[in-house]
C-alpha cells in the first residue's frame, strides 16, 4: 500500500482525533521509525502498514521523539525487529481509551491491560 493510501486510512480510523490524547490529529506517526533517508520496496510496505501508523497531534508526536523510552512503554514506538502488529498501543479511540492492537486493514482490536503490558515489556527488551 502506498504512503498516501495508508495516511488516508489512518485519518479515517482516528476520525481526525489524536490517538494519543484525543486532540485534533495533524500528523501520521510511524511507530517503528523509518530511519534516515526513508524506505523503499518491501521495507516501505512494512513501514507504511497501518499497524505501524498512528494519528497524532504535534504535541504527542514531539513526545515520541523527546521521550522514546516512555513512548515505547505506551506502544507508540516499536523497536526494529519487532512486528508492530504484535505490540499493542495505549490509545484514545472513538470507542474509548485503552490498549489496542492495530491491524493492516486500518482497524484496531481491544487488548486487556495485563496482556498489553506484558507484550509491551517483552517487546522492549533490548
- Give DSSP secondary structure letters for 19-39: TTTSSB--EEEESS---TT--
Rounded Cα–Cα distance for residues 84 and 52 (Å):
5
Q: Which DSSP state fits 116?
A: H
pLDDT digits 0-9 by tens, 81-104: 899 999 999 999 998 999 999 999
Confidence (pTM): 0.91
C-alpha cell at 83: 512486528
b/e sequence 69-88, b meaning 16+ C-beta within 10 Å = eebbebbbbbeeebebbebb
Pairing of β 89-93 and β 53-56:
unpaired
Task: Give the model's pLDDT for residue 50.
Answer: 96
pLDDT digits 0-9 by tens, 10-45: 999 999 999 999 999 999 999 998 764 556 666 667
Amino acid at each position: 500500500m502506498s504512503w498516501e493510501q495508508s495516511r488516508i486510512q489512518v485519518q479515517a480510523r482516528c476520525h481526525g482525533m489524536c490517538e494519543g490524547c484525543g486532540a485534533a490529529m495533524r500528523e501520521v506517526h510511524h511507530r517503528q521509525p523509518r530511519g534516515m533517508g526513508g524506505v523503499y520496496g518491501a521495507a516501505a510496505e512494512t513501514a507504511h502498514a497501518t499497524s505501524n501508523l498512528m494519528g497524532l497531534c504535534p504535541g504527542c508526536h514531539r513526545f515520541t521523539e523527546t521521550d522514546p523510552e516512555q513512548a515505547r512503554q505506551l506502544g507508540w514506538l516499536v523497536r526494529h525487529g519487532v512486528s508492530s502488529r504484535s505490540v499493542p498501543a495505549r490509545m484514545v479511540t472513538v470507542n474509548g481509551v485503552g490498549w489496542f492492537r492495530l491491524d493492516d486493514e486500518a482497524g484496531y482490536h481491544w487488548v486487556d491491560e495485563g496482556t498489553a503490558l506484558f507484550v509491551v515489556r517483552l517487546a522492549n527488551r533490548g
